[in-house]
Chains A and B, each alone.
Chain A
Amino acid sequence: MSNIIDRRKNIKGKSTNNRQKFLKRVEDQIKEAIPDIISQESIKDSNGGGKVKVPIKGLKEPNFRHDPRSGKKQYIRPGNDKFSEGDKVPKPEEGGKGAGSGKGSNSPEISQDDFVVILSRDEFLKYFFEDLELPNMVKKYMESTTTFRYQRAGYTKDSIPSRLNIKTSFQHSLARQISLKGVYAQKIKKLEEELINEKDENKRLVLEQELEKLNRLKNTIPFFEDVDLRYNNFETVPKPATSAVMFCIMDVSASMGYHEKDIAKRFFTLLYIFLTKQYHNVDIVYIRHHTESKEVEEEEFFNSRESGGTVVAPSLRLMHKIMKERYDPQMWNVYCCQASDGDVWSNGDAVECSQFLKNEVLNEVQYMAYIEIKNRGLEGYLWHAYKKLRKQENFSMRNINDISQIWPVFKALFKKKSLVDNED
């Protein structure tokens, strides 16, 4: 009689379509919220499709309704514990919710000014990149620095001796010898028959000479001729660059406080998300430095309290060394992001950094960003020294003072270099 149905096996997500429609409608708010989302630490952790919360201002669905403040209203309430007819109860102050009074608005609507959309990681990335307008520079680099590898592609008749393919060449030679022998054998056979039948001595002589010549040719077929030779053929096949390494170099000298490190960290996070989208495989190398530079684990990078004076150049040398050892720029797309407050022990150090970047590092990395986290107006030594590098196509520098500036700066860094220059 009744039908009992197990719906659980049905596909879920009946609302997916409507949800998409809704997201489309709040696209602008989501984009606006991107800087907020970025400040959530959860983004990076949710590598494989985690979720991101976006506060959304209530979407209006207007209708004709009464203004709850106006008019004469009557409410029935349960649980009278103290009132008598005719009692006068003061209204709660404006804004106060009047807890316990049990009065107030009779309107059934619950205010939904702020609620949270849980975006999947993919959805988030979609908006993230949309806003970023896919920086051309990185794209270009990806195309031009694609590495090539050789791939066997059949045989060719002309190449260098070292690529001679003996087996194939021999096969060709054999075929040629067999076919030629066959041709000579037929001719010889024919001549021999003629010779038997020929009575005229003169003509016999000619035939005999001819036979002898053919026999000689038949026995002296060259083992290899040029036409037999086959060389291995190779093609250069572009090998897509699929991995990237990001060097995070952070100054942890005494002058870098929590605020500065926080900004640096968020910036690195952003860069990480960005690279993850571009490459299959992203490695991060954390380098922290004060007077000493060392490679550390993520945990230590962000949390260690060790600090001291500032010498910067060794950190760049360390990065370069690690790159040479483990991340061959031929194979890896190398990115580097250096965060510092710009203070250095001596101007010499700053100049050394600048020189080293110019002569060594920038030739091999895809892109390097220097962010100076400084809320005093003055330029640091580093900033001053790096200024000379600004003409380098794959180098950008920016100043960030406040968390809210991270996103604009990031966007600016990943735009065309020319635009960045103009803005500076």
Chain B
Amino acid sequence: MIDKEQFKAMFSNPNWDFETIQAADEVTSWIGKEFFKLDTYINQIEIVTSEQMLDAYALIGLPTSYPHWKFGKDFVINQGSYKKGQMGLSYEMVINSNPCISYNMENNSTCMMLLVIAHACQGHNAFFKNNYMFKDWTSADSIIDYMVFARDYILRCEEEFGEEEVEKVLDACHSLMDHGVDKYKKPQKLSAEEERERMKRLTKVKSENYNELLRTLPTESELNTREQYKKLKKFPIEPEENLLYFIEKNAPTLAVWKREIVRIVRKVAQYYYPQTMTKVMNEGFATFMHYHIINKLFDLGYLDDGFMLEFVKSHSGVIYQPDYSSPYFSGLNPYTLGFNIFMDIKRICQNPTQEDKAWFPNLIGKDWLDEVIYAMENFRDDSFIAQYLSPKVIRDMKLFAIFDDEDNEFYEIEAIHNERGYRRIREMLSRQYDRSNRVPDIQVDSVDLHKTSKLNLIHHIHDEKLLDEDEADSTVKHLRYLWEFPVELHSRNKAGIDEDFYEC
């Protein structure tokens, strides 16, 4: 390795070159592994221009994706606000893939480069590789391959069936993307190669297209009891909340190629699922890591004071949390919240107070790094907050809870950062990051098997939250397009009474 003074000289020069990037990658990897036990995928650091970053934004960070107007729209919107100066581009973007690809903006200063490399290539990378959600739900080895497969497949469909037709299918699928996720069954990890094999089988062997809906003759054993016969008439036997999956498997007459597109969109939705579930943790952990790695480098004498001044400024920019009353306020900053909680885990392990001893007996006297890594690996946002949000963080951030009932003329302050409020705030914040709070609970209830093939869906109303009617109307139309038979959606409250009804 080159000596410290050389590194120091290199990093204090605000104009980076490729040697600098290489050095930054080397030292951060070394620190990450040596001092913070980080286990990462191999990094692939790509230097991009702002325009390329806009491209990356539009494809939600993937290096490639299937063609669709929506991505063009996102590009146009982002480009517009970027050019007007309404929006800055992030300094980096990182992809959950193996090797772990990260895009770094060319106009970052050296300090920024070092920061984002520590942040993305160590923090996020380790998170992708080790957090249970990502381990269980995504396959980093094959996503790029799969997207290439998806793109080629959709291009072929466009050629064969026309862009318009393909667009209709994709639009419909996209509208159901939030409802295309398996939350309990882990998806099979198919590589692109296996995927192609599967396709071949599908088209070759017609019997693979066996359709549950077309099964009219019950087997003898199923007819044994009247109870069982009744059950058989009900389809599906259990409600299904993965609407895209249900369509893919059961839409009575959907063309094979459309079915495959449904599958592609479903796979993409599944791939993003862990990211939406771990925003606070993921950003918090990456921020925690860049903070520690850079400080370690400084302690070891690789960085000079000038560098650290710039670093502190950038770092505090990242974790800036405007108060609720600030004009800049736009919700809780996930970087701040996550960073604060991880920092607090460290503090509790190192210097616990009486309060901490009562709240986190398990952390007392433990090695802070082990506990941080454990937390990183085994939680997602809602459970992470429920487990680790401490009274101190609540106090520091002055968190308070507002209750908003549409029937009331006023907001009620339900809890504030005091003794009585800690647990309730923690509970409520945890629920705020619970997916079911955001995505309406809609399930396939039944299909009218023998007559109309009508699809019945139930929206289970929670907390009296109704569906946005216009949106629901249009989405039901999309659903009908895919299902190809009538669709009904009942918004049903706890008492089992319909409050809203949509059909198409």
Residues of A within 8 A of B (CB): 1-8, 10, 12-15, 17-25, 59-81, 83-91, 99-103, 108, 112, 115-118
| B364 close to chain A: CB less than 8 A | no
Looking at A3, A71, A76, A80, the one whose CB has the most chain B CB atoms below 10 A away is A76
Q: Is the CB of B404 within 8 A of A103?
A: yes
**Is B363 part of the contact surface with A, judged by Cβ < 8 Å?**
no
A sample of 6 more A-B contacts (CB under 8 A), given A18-B70, A66-B465, is A65-B467, A71-B466, A91-B404, A100-B325, A103-B402, A108-B438
With A3-B99, A77-B399 known as contacts, the answer to whether A71 contacts B25 (CB < 8 A) is: no
**Inter-subunit contact A91/B80 (CB<8 Å):** no
Q: Is B69 an interface residue (CB 8 A)?
A: yes
Give Cα A69–Cα B415 distance, bound, in whole angstroms.
Answer: 22
Contacts across chains A and B counted by CB atoms under 8 Å: 271
Q: Which of B54-62, B286-294, B309-317 contacts A (4 or more CB under 8 A)?
A: B54-62
Are A67's CB and B413's CB within 8 A? no
**Cross-chain contact A116 with B55 (CB below 8 angstroms):** no
In chain B, positions 17-74 with a C-beta closer than 8 Å to chain A are 18, 21-22, 25, 29, 42-49, 51-52, 54-55, 58-59, 67-73
B51 touches A84 (CB 8 A): no
Nearest A residue to B77, CB-CB: A115
Q: Decide if B324 is an interface residue (CB 8 Å cutoff).
A: yes
Contact of B58 among A3, A18, A62 (CB under 8 A): A18
Q: How far is the CA of A3 from the CA of B54 in the complex (A)?
A: 22
A15 CB contacts on chain B under 8 angstroms: 54-55, 58-59, 71-72, 75
Question: Nearest 6 CB-CB pairs, A to B?
Answer: A79-B323, A102-B324, A22-B72, A71-B465, A18-B72, A62-B474
Tell me the residues in window 91-105 of chain B with beta carbons closer than 8 Å to chain A beta carbons: 99, 103
Flag if A99 contacts B327 (CB, 8 Å): yes
Which A residues lie within 8 Å of B68 (CB)?
18, 21
State how many angstroms separate the Cβ of A5 from the closest Cβ of chain B: 5
Q: Which of A18, A75, A87, A90 contacts B67 (CB 8 A)?
A: A18
- A65 vs B45: C-alpha distance in the bound complex, in angstroms? 37
Chain B residues in 8 Å Cβ range of A70: 406, 464-466
Residue numbers in B under 8 Å from A22 (CB-CB): 69-70, 72-73, 75-76
Q: What per-residue 1/0 map shows which CB atoms of B395-419 lie under 8 Å from chain A?
A: 0011111111110111111111110
Residue of B nearest to A70 (CB): B466
Q: Which of B169-210 contact A (CB under 8 A)?
A: 171, 174-179
Chain B residue with the shortest CB-CB distance to A60: B474
By beta carbon, the residue of chain A nearest B28 is A2
Closest Cβ neighbor of B22 among chain A residues: A4
A88 pairs with B323, CB closer than 8 A:
no
- Which of the candidate stretches B248-256, B368-376, B426-434 sits at the interface with the other chain? B426-434
Residue B421 at the A interface, CB < 8 A? yes
- Docked pose: A5 CA to B167 CA in angstroms: 34
Tell me the nearest residue of chain A to B432, going by C-beta: A76
Determine if B459 and A61 form an interchain contact, defined as CB atoms under 8 angstroms apart: no
CA distance A73 to B414 in the complex (A): 11
Complex contacts, A5 vs chain B, CB 8 Å: 44-47
Q: Chain A contacts of B332 at CB under 8 A?
A: 76-78
In the complex, how many angstroms separate the beta carbon of B424 from the nearest chain A beta carbon? 9
Q: Is B83 an interface residue (CB 8 A)?
A: yes
